[in-house]
Chain A
Amino acid sequence: MPEGYFGQYATIGIFVFVGVALVFGTLQLARLVRPNVPSYEKSTTYESGIDPIGEGWSQSNVRYYIFALLFVVFDVEAVFLFPWAIVFERLGTQALVEMVIFIGILAIALLYAIKKKVLEWL
């Protein structure tokens, strides 16, 4: 029964099912009606008009990795902030001070990252 707590998620479940079915259905339907005439030129990747040289999977800049690490730090921070924000009024001043310290530590971390110039994109 889609009522109450689990009911809300059951509705989402129906939504997910219909969504995935709709998209897959469209793909399958298109497969039935579209032409299929493969050739060598069509199966090569795009490289400004010439035949591709080397592999498509090349190395990535290490800087992306630093951003990924920082993302984890601040996303986890957001995870801690949301529950605190909900019960904030009941917890009062003490929780506020604690949270300011928590955010302050991470703000210092961000400042450190800025000072070390890892956020500079050269």
Chain B
Amino acid sequence: MSAIVDFFGIAVIIAVVKVVITFAALLGTTIVVVWFERKVIADMQARIGPSRWGPFGLFQTLADGIKLFFKEDFRPQTADKWTYAIAPVAAMVPALLGFAVIPVGDEVTFGDTTVGLVMSDLNVGILYFLAMGSLGVYGIVLAGWASGSKYPLLGSIRSTAQLISYETAMGLSLVPIALVAGSLSTVDIVTAQAGSVGRVTFFDGIPVLEQISAIFRFIPNWYIWSQWPAFVIFFIAGVAETNRAPFDLPEAESELVAGYLTEYAGIRYALFFLGEYVHVVVISAMAVTLFFGGWDGPTFSFLSWLWPVIWFMIKTVAFIYLFIWFRASLPRLRYDRLMWLGWKRLIPAALVWIMVTAVVNTAGVARGVRLGVFIGLFVVVMIFIARGDPRQLKPVSPQSQGRATRGVA
């Protein structure tokens, strides 16, 4: 062992061990998440769900994977050979890579070496995460185009427009976080959320409220309190980025067969499928990191390094559950409403929220101005809600429908 350490140096070995553990943990989690989704949805629909393979049907995903592994993989004649082959890789790898900047726990000390439980603490962590999300679009676009078939092409073009719309909203929703944290490093952002909200002086001198306000000392200082609009935008955009219900238009089976997946079979299909679930895990973990304090939580002296990891996992599973809940409860959006939500609601809301956060956090701005900004924001939100009633959206008229079918790819 010490010979190996001397040859490569401890840092290289730590890096390799981190990579291997991250892969094992991420793929293992993904396999469990697929089972978890089927079980939860079955429960919500009063069914039993997978129950045959292993305890509680836990090995169902493995059985499916092995089945797909041994399936014949036929490529359509019209397909572009190389692009068709590369597309599953282009979908799967960026999804995995997004996890590299997520801190799963506090620093751990082995003997005289201290290791941070994050694979790579980039100083541009958030930008890296957004970039990997964007690269994921390639897998879908290439798959749809390379199949040389009509349904996949339709699905992939739709998907491109959807993903770039919601990606913009996601990018803009993370600017306020960078603003309040003063850093793009995910580790710094988690550290900035440590501790509690603290003492609130607002109620001082008022008899009962003063005692009640002491409760603020037990509320963790997470960004969700001050940045909840950013979180709402981020999470909606995240659901759209992963192509999950209610934003699963690229694979809407009632109109597009299976979208960009139509011409894929066997192991290649399995890679797309796994990529989507890895993406769900990464988005959930990122939501936890940026808005819910990451691994922040009470620790105890017994196995003190393990508690943060457990807190991180509990929070992440809660968000994965939310993803599944969305799928079980919400019907798929119509395409025009999808675009309406992205461009006319989420992006303007994100822009407004950036300005509000900036004004409120500027030291030189007077209290009256800040109050004015808050009242202004309230008015804007009210206008949004009043105009946002979907019943006021015009139904598609017969003429425009005819136009659309003629022009659409």
A residues neighboring B (CB under 8 Å): 1-3, 5, 7-12, 14-16, 18-20, 22-24, 26-27, 29-31, 33-38, 42-48, 52, 55-62, 64, 67-68, 70-71, 74-75, 77-78, 81-82, 85-86, 88-89, 92-93, 96, 99-100, 103, 106-107, 110, 114, 119-122
> CB-CB < 8 A to B151: which residues of A?
46-47
20 contacts between A and B (CB under 8 A): A1-B9, A2-B14, A8-B120, A16-B93, A31-B73, A43-B77, A52-B150, A55-B148, A56-B147, A56-B153, A64-B160, A68-B161, A71-B164, A74-B172, A78-B172, A81-B175, A92-B364, A110-B343, A110-B348, A122-B403
Cβ distance B309 to chain A, nearest Cβ, rounded Å:
19
Cβ-defined contact, B339 with A57, below 8 A: no
Cβ-defined contact, A70 with B23, below 8 A: no
Cβ-defined contact, B150 with A23, below 8 A: no
**Assuming A7-B11, A33-B69, A81-B175, is B120 touching A15 (CB within 8 A)?**
yes
Enumerate the 8 nearest inter-chain pairs by beta-carbon distance, A residue then B residue, closest first. Answer: A45-B149, A121-B336, A60-B409, A56-B148, A30-B267, A2-B15, A78-B171, A85-B178
A106 nearest in chain B by CB position: B351
B176 nearest in chain A by CB position: A85
Please tell me the size bucket of the interface on B.
35 or more
> CB-CB < 8 A to A34: which residues of B?
69-73, 266-267
> CB-CB < 8 A to B93: which residues of A?
16, 19-20, 23
> CB-CB < 8 A to B19: which residues of A?
11, 14-15, 18
A121 to B191, CA, bound (A): 43
The answer to whether the Cβ of B285 comes within 8 Å of any Cβ in the partner chain is: no
B residues neighboring A (CB under 8 Å): 9, 11-12, 14-16, 18-20, 22-23, 69-78, 85, 88-89, 92-93, 96-97, 100, 119-123, 126-128, 145, 147-153, 157, 160-161, 164-165, 167-168, 171-172, 175-176, 178-179, 182-184, 257, 262-263, 266-268, 271, 335-336, 339-340, 343-344, 347-348, 351, 354-355, 358-359, 361-365, 396, 400, 403-404, 407-409
**Residue from B23, B74, B171, B396 in contact with A75 in the complex, judged by beta carbons closer than 8 Å:** B171
A22 to B366, CA, bound (A): 56
Cβ-defined contact, B14 with A67, below 8 A: no
> CB-CB < 8 A to A52: which residues of B?
78, 149-150
Cβ-defined contact, A92 with B362, below 8 A: yes
A31 to B359, CA, bound (A): 58
| Count of CB-CB pairs between chains A and B under 8 Å | 235
> CB-CB < 8 A to B22: which residues of A?
15
Cβ distance B399 to chain A, nearest Cβ, rounded Å:
9
Cβ distance B22 to chain A, nearest Cβ, rounded Å:
7
A33 to B73, CA, bound (A): 11
A114 to B363, CA, bound (A): 35
Cβ-defined contact, A18 with B15, below 8 A: no
A29 to B177, CA, bound (A): 43
**Assuming A42-B74, A71-B164, is B175 touching A82 (CB within 8 A)?**
yes
A40 to B14, CA, bound (A): 52
Cβ-defined contact, A22 with B23, below 8 A: yes
A8 to B120, CA, bound (A): 5
Q: A55-B148, A56-B150, A61-B407 are in contact. List 18 more A-B contacts (CB 8 A).
A: A1-B11, A1-B12, A8-B120, A15-B100, A23-B88, A27-B267, A31-B73, A34-B266, A57-B148, A60-B409, A68-B161, A70-B343, A77-B172, A85-B179, A100-B358, A110-B351, A114-B343, A120-B336
**Assuming A8-B120, A11-B120, is B355 touching A103 (CB within 8 A)?**
yes
> CB-CB < 8 A to B351: which residues of A?
103, 106-107, 110
A30 to B358, CA, bound (A): 53
**Assuming A46-B149, A89-B182, A121-B340, is B97 touching A12 (CB within 8 A)?**
yes
**Assuming A19-B93, A64-B161, A99-B358, is B339 touching A45 (CB within 8 A)?**
no
A121 to B69, CA, bound (A): 41
> CB-CB < 8 A to A78: which residues of B?
168, 171-172, 175
A86 to B172, CA, bound (A): 14
A12 to B19, CA, bound (A): 9
Cβ-defined contact, B122 with A12, below 8 A: yes
